[in-house]
Structure 1
Amino acid sequence: MNEEKISSRFIYFFGAFGGILFGYDIGVMTGALPFLEKDWNLYNSAGIVGWITSAVMFGAIFGGALAGQLADRLGRRKMILISAIIFAVFSVLSAIAPNNGSYYLIIMRIFLGLAVGAASALVPAYISELAPAAIRGRLSGLNQTMIVSGMLISYIVDYILKGLPNQIAWRLMLGFACIPAIILYLGVMKLPESPRYLIKDGRPDEAQKVMSYVRSSEGEINNEINQIKETAHKEQEAQKTSWSALFSGKYRYLVIAGVGVAAFQQFQGANAIFYYIPLIVQKATGQAATSTLMWPIIQGVILVIGSLVFMWIAEKFNRRTLLMFAGTIMGLSFILPAIIRWIDPHASQMMIVVFLCIYVAFYSATWAPLTWVLVGEIFPLAISGRAAGLASSFNWIGSWAVGLLFPIMTASMSQEVVFAIFGVICLFGALFVKTCVPETRGHSLEEIESRYSKAK
C-alpha cells in the first residue's frame, strides 16, 4: 500500500465515481434510442426496442450477485477496477455494432450490464465501510449525486450530438461511455481497500492505516477497529457463510428489509421515465422524439438538484420517515393524472409530464439515494457482500422489467393507466417500509447488526 497519506476527499470522490459510470449508461440510451430507431427502422418492434434498452439491466442482475461474492474474496477495490475495464471494453464494442445488428447490440449491452451491476453493488458497500456513522448517509448520497450527474452528462452529450446523421449519433453516444470508465480506473488505482474487508482478510494493521485517512482521532480509530474485530472474530467461529445463511432466523429480517427496499425502488417505475422520456413527450405532444431531447436534460437537472437536497437532509430526518413520505407523494403523482383524465378526458396531455417532474423530484431526493444508504448500512459483515449483491440483483430485475415492458405496455394501454399501476406500487413500497424496515440513521454497522439480527 502507498505510504503517502491519501486525502479523505479523494477517497470519497473516487469511491463514489462508479456512480458516473453506470449513471451515464442508464441515461445515454434515452437520447440514443430515437436515432437508433430511425437508423434501424425499429418503429414497430416494441420487443426489440425494450430488449436493447433493458439489456444492460438484464446483465446487471448477474453482475451485482457475482460482484458481491467476488468482493468478499478479492476485496471491493479490485472488483471496482475489474468492473471499469469491462465497462470500457463493451462500451466500445456496443458503439461498433454492425448495421441492423439488434441481437449483437443486445448481447454487448448484457455484458456491459455485468459491470454496471457490479458497480451498483460495490460502490455503496465501499463508501459505507469507510464512512463514519454520523455522515454515512450524506456520503452515500454522494454516490447518488454521481449517478444522476452521469445521467445528466449523457443527456447533454445526446443533445450536443443530435445534429449528426442518425447512424453516427447513437454510436458516438454509446461509445463515449468508455471515458468515465477510464477515469474511474485511474482514480481507483490510488484508493485503499475497505478496512472491514482488510480485517476480515486478516490484515488489521493495514485496516488501521486506512482508518487513519478517514477518522480524526486515534481513540475513534481504535474503538471502531476493536468493534470490527470483535464482530469479525464471532463470524470466523461460525460456519462459512452460505446463501442459506441469508435467510436463516438470525439474518432474515434484515435481508428481507434491504432486498425489499431495493426491489421496490425500481418496480416503482422511475426508469420508465429515465429511459423513455423523449417517447413519453412524443406521445403527449406529437413532436418527433429526436426533437424532444431537452426534456431529458430537464429531468437530469431535477435529479441532480434532488440528490443535493438529499445530502442536505440525509442526517436531519430518519430514513423511514423520508421513504414513507416521498413514496406516498410519488404514488399520487402517478395516480392523479389517470384520475384527472377520467374526470376530464380533454385535459392537457402535457399534464402527465408535469406530474412526472414532481415524481422525479421526490424520487431523486429520497428513494434513489436512500435505497443504497440502507443497503450499505443494514447488512451484517458476515453476509454484507452476498446480501448487497442480492439486493442489487433484485433492484436490477425491477429495472430490467420496467425497461423491457414499458414500451410494450404503452403500445396496448394509455400512458396514464401505465403510470397509475406504478403509482399503486409506490404506495405499497411506503407500506413495506412502515412495516418491515428498521431505522439505521446514526448507528454503526456493528450496532445495527447487534440490535436487529440476534433476536430475529
Structure 2
Amino acid sequence: MNVMAKAEKKISSAFIYFFGSFGGILFGYDIGVMTGALPFLQADWHLENAASLVGWITSAVMFGAIFGGALAGQLSDKFGRRKMILMSAIVFMVFSVLSGVSPDMGEASAYYLIIVRMLLGLAVGAASALVPAYMSEMAPAKARGRLSGLNQTMIVSGMLLSYVVDFLLKDLPGEWAWRLMLGLAAVPALILFLGVLRLPESPRFLLRKGDEAQARKVLSYIRKNPAEIDQELASIKETAKEERQVNQKTSWSTLFSGKYRYLVIAGVGVAAFQQFQGANAIFYYIPLIVQKATGQAASSNLMWPIVQGVILVVGSLVYMWIADKFNRRTLLMVGGAVMGLSFILPAVINWMMPNMNPMTIVVFLCIYVAFYSFTWAPLTWVLVGEIFPLAIRGRASGLASSFNWIGSWLVGLIFPIMTASMPQEAVFAIFGIICILGVIFVKTCVPETRGHTLEEIEEQGTNHGRVKASNPEN
C-alpha cells in the first residue's frame, strides 16, 4: 500500500489532464479513419454501387455509440470513471483489430464489419461520455472552460491523426491499406490504457463510495493548498446530498414539465441540430465528395481530409481563445449562418453558372468546417453542460447525447444514399437549410448562458415556463 501511495504522489496534474482527456483521441480517430479507408474498402469488396451497405459500414460506429454512452454513464456510477475508461480502451483495442482482420467472404464480409463496428461504437460512445465527466470532476472550476476546449482539441487531433495515417498508407495494396487504417486504431487505445493505469479515480466518485481519505489524497495532486481541498470536499458532499434528494423526486416525465421543458428543448435541440447540419457528411466522405465533383479517384484525394483536420485543430484553438469573449448565442448564430450559406451558395452558383469549377464546392466546404470548428462543434457541449438544472441534469444530458449520436448515425447512413440519387449540390443545400433552421432555433428557443450562474439559468427556464403557462396562446 505504501509503495502504491508513493507511486501515486509522483503523478502530476499535467499527466492527469493529458491522459484524462486522451480518450478524445480514440473518439476522433474512429470518426476520421473511415474517410480514407472507405475508397479502398469499396474497391476491394466491390461496393461502389452499394450505397446502403456503404452507409451502414460507415455509420455503424455511431449506432453503437448511441447505446455505449448511456451504458457507460450508468456503469461508471457503479464501478468508477477510471475503470470504465480502461474497459473502453480494451473494447476499442479488440474490435479495432477485428475490423482490420475482417474475412473476405463476399457480401457477408460487409455484415461482419457492420456488426464489429457497432460493437466498437460502444467504446466510442463510452469515451464520449466518460472523458468529459472525468475531466469535469478532476478540473478546478476556474479551468473547466479551457479543459472543455482541451477535450475538443483531443477529438479533432484524433481525426487529424487518422487522416495522416490514411494518407501515409494510401500507396499500399488496396486490401492492406484499409485493413491497416482500421487496425491501427488499437495503438492509441493501448496508449490510453497504459496511461489510465496510473490515473487516480475521481474524488467525486470516491466520496460517493465513502472513501474521503482517498478523495482528499487525489485532490492533493491537483489543488494548490489544503484550504482549497477542504472547500472542494465540502462542496462535493453538499452537491452529492442535493443529487440524492432530487433523484428521489424526478422521473423522465419531469423533463417535460412546464418548469423544465424550455431548457430541455433548448439543450436537446442544439445537440440534435449539431449533427443534422451535416458536418459528419464531410468528415466521413470528403474523398468521395471530391471524386464526385472532379472525377478523380477518391483514393487519390486523401490530402483533403488532412486539410479539413488542420482546419478543425486550428478552430478548436481559436475557440479556446474566444470562448469567454463572446456570447454563446452570438457565436452559434453567426457560425450557423455562415455554415448554411457555405452549403447553399454552391447550389445557387451551379444553377446560375452550370460550368462552374467543380472544386468550388470543396472550397465552400472548407469555409463550413472552419466556422463549425469554433462555434457549433465545441459550444454544443459547453451549452449542454450549463443549461440543464441539477434536478434533471443526468437524464437531460443523456437525452441530448442520444439525440446527437442518432443524428450522427443518420447523416452517416443516408448521405451516400442521397448523393446516389441527386446532385451533391442539392444534398448540401438541404443541409444548408437545416443550418439556417438551427440559427432560428437558437434565436427563439435558447437562452444565453455565458456569465450566468447555473441557478440564474434555471431561473430563466422557470420564468419562461410561468410565462407560457399564463399566456398559452404564445
TM-score normalised by the chain length of structure 1: 0.93
369-378 or 234-243: bigger deviation: 234-243
Alpha-carbon distance, 1:262 to partner: 1.5
392-401 or 434-443: bigger deviation: 434-443
Alpha-carbon distance, 1:453 to partner: 6.7
Deviation string 1:361-385 (CA, Å, 9 cap, x unpaired) is 1111121122222333334555544
| SS of equivalent residue, structure 1 residue 154 | helix
Preserved contact between residue 68 and residue 385 of structure 1 (Cα < 8 Å): no
Preserved contact between residue 125 and residue 388 of structure 1 (Cα < 8 Å): no
Distance change in 2, residues 1:294/1:237 (3 Å): closer
Alpha-carbon distance, 1:6 to partner: 3.2
Is 1:425–2:434 an aligned residue pair?
yes
Q: Distance in 1 between matches of 2:447 and 2:17?
A: 26
Preserved contact between residue 128 and residue 376 of structure 1 (Cα < 8 Å): no
The one of 40, 61, 80 aligned to 1:75: 80
| SS of equivalent residue, structure 2 residue 399 | helix
216-225 or 274-283: bigger deviation: 216-225
The one of 123, 144, 147 aligned to 2:131: 123
Residue in 2 that maps onto 1:55: 60
Residue in 2 that maps onto 1:229: 237
281-290 or 427-436: bigger deviation: 427-436
Preserved contact between residue 330 and residue 358 of structure 1 (Cα < 8 Å): yes
Distance change in 2, residues 1:91/1:231 (3 Å): same
Q: Which 4+ runs in 1 deviate beyond 6 A?
A: none
Residue in 2 that maps onto 1:170: 178
Alpha-carbon distance, 1:59 to partner: 0.7
Is 1:374–2:373 an aligned residue pair?
no
For residues 19-418 of structure 1, the aligned pairs below 5 Å read: 19-99=24-104, 100=106, 101-240=109-248, 242-249=251-258, 251-380=260-389, 383-418=392-427
Q: Distance in 2 between matches of 1:449 and 1:217?
A: 31
Alpha-carbon distance, 1:439 to partner: 3.5
Alpha-carbon distance, 1:327 to partner: 1.2
Q: Distance in 2 between matches of 1:255 and 1:159?
A: 42
Alpha-carbon distance, 1:230 to partner: 2.4
| SS of equivalent residue, structure 2 residue 62 | helix
* Unaligned segments of structure 2, at least 5 residues: 466-474
Deviation string 1:160-217 (CA, Å, 9 cap, x unpaired) is 1111111111111100001111111121222233333334444444444433333334
Distance change in 2, residues 1:199/1:325 (3 Å): farther
Q: Distance in 1 between matches of 2:294 and 2:59?
A: 25
Alpha-carbon distance, 1:435 to partner: 3.0
Q: Distance in 2 between matches of 1:430 and 1:211?
A: 41
Distance change in 2, residues 1:183/1:381 (3 Å): farther
Q: Distance in 2 between matches of 1:126 and 1:452?
A: 28
Distance change in 2, residues 1:154/1:18 (3 Å): same
Preserved contact between residue 338 and residue 420 of structure 1 (Cα < 8 Å): yes
Q: Distance in 1 between matches of 2:462 and 2:204?
A: 20
Alpha-carbon distance, 1:329 to partner: 1.1
303-312 or 189-198: bigger deviation: 189-198
AA aligned to 2:344 is I
AA aligned to 1:263 is A
Residue in 2 that maps onto 1:8: 13
Q: Percent identity?
A: 75
181-190 or 51-60: bigger deviation: 181-190
42-51 or 4-13: bigger deviation: 4-13
Distance change in 2, residues 1:188/1:420 (3 Å): same
Preserved contact between residue 388 and residue 458 of structure 2 (Cα < 8 Å): no
Preserved contact between residue 134 and residue 202 of structure 2 (Cα < 8 Å): yes
Q: Distance in 2 between matches of 1:151 and 1:264?
A: 21
Alpha-carbon distance, 1:8 to partner: 1.9
Q: Which has the larger radius of gyration?
A: 2
Alpha-carbon distance, 1:43 to partner: 0.8
| SS of equivalent residue, structure 1 residue 348 | coil
AA aligned to 1:138 is R
285-294 or 306-315: bigger deviation: 306-315
Deviation string 1:394-436 (CA, Å, 9 cap, x unpaired) is 1111111111100111111111111111111112222222333
AA aligned to 2:26 is L
Q: Distance in 2 between matches of 1:332 and 1:430?
A: 12
Q: Distance in 1 between matches of 2:161 and 2:396?
A: 31
425-434 or 399-408: bigger deviation: 425-434
Q: Distance in 2 between matches of 1:324 and 1:263?
A: 15
**Count, aligned residues:** 455
Q: Which has the higher contact order (CA 8 A, sep 6+)?
A: 1
Preserved contact between residue 285 and residue 350 of structure 1 (Cα < 8 Å): yes
Q: Distance in 1 between matches of 2:11 and 2:233?
A: 19
AA aligned to 1:85 is I
Alpha-carbon distance, 1:274 to partner: 0.5
